[in-house]
């Protein structure tokens, strides 16, 4: 396996993982802000 290709595959996997973590963070943050907003009403 070529080193460049392997590096690219690893990079893509890391980006997908980071994307998933960021998405979960955004969902949690969104739910938290909505709850805060509802409680303040």
For 1-41, the pLDDT digits (tens) are 578 888 899 999 999 999 999 999 999 999 999 999 999 88
Estimate to the nearest angstrom the gap between the alpha carbon of 3 and the chain centroid.
Answer: 27
What's the DSSP call for residue 39? H
Q: How many CA atoms lie within 13 A of 20 on its CB side?
A: 6
| Distance in angstroms (rounded) separating the CA atoms of residues 40 and 26 | 21
pLDDT at 1: 58
Q: In the chain, where are the structural domains located?
A: 1-41
Model confidence, pTM = 0.56
């Amino acid at each position: 396996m070529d080193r460049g290709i392997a590096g690219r595959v690893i990079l893509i996997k890391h980006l997908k993982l980071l994307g998933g973590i960021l998405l979960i963070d955004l969902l949690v943050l969104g739910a938290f802000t909505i709850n805060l907003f509802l409680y303040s009403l």
